[in-house]
Amino acid sequence: QVQLVESGGGSVQAGGSLRLSCAAFGYTYSTYCMGWFRQAPGKEREGVARIATGDGSTIYADSVRGRFTISQDNAKNTLYLQMNNLKPEDTAMYYCGTSWISCALSDFGYWGQGTQVTVSS
């Protein structure tokens, strides 16, 4: 019912910046929350940042707070993640996800295919 397409990943040096985009296609009328998640090799999928589509309220992981900014353009059905002061530990596959229930991490059940972010020291 919904297709999510991520873009904007790449390779940067520590301290650099990237801007990720996620375009949503299909049934998005009742989407409650959208978010960015990441998974590094050997690690669990981690919730990076979430934003409520209705009021724009945000939630950030402690590891990225102050460096990453999540935003949305509801008219374009597009989600963004501005990543500044990147660190090697940010290296991961980044996924866009959506929830029709709440912004709780457990309610995200649909994912894009991901975009790779690699940060070198």
> Can you tell me whether residue 105 is helix, strand or coil?
helix
Q: How many residues does the chain have?
A: 121
Q: Is 101 in contact with 32 (CB distance < 8 Å)?
A: yes
What is the rounded average pLDDT of the residues 94-114? 93
Q: How confident is the model at residue 55 (pLDDT cuts 50, 70, 90)?
A: very high
Q: How does pLDDT run across 16-50, given as a tens digit for each residue?
A: 999 999 999 887 677 899 999 999 999 999 999 99
In this structure, are residues 114 and 48 in contact, taking their beta carbons and an 8 Å threshold? Answer: no
Average pLDDT estimate for 80-105: 96
- Are the CB atoms for 112 and 95 separated by under 8 Å? yes
Encoded tokens for 46: 């981690």
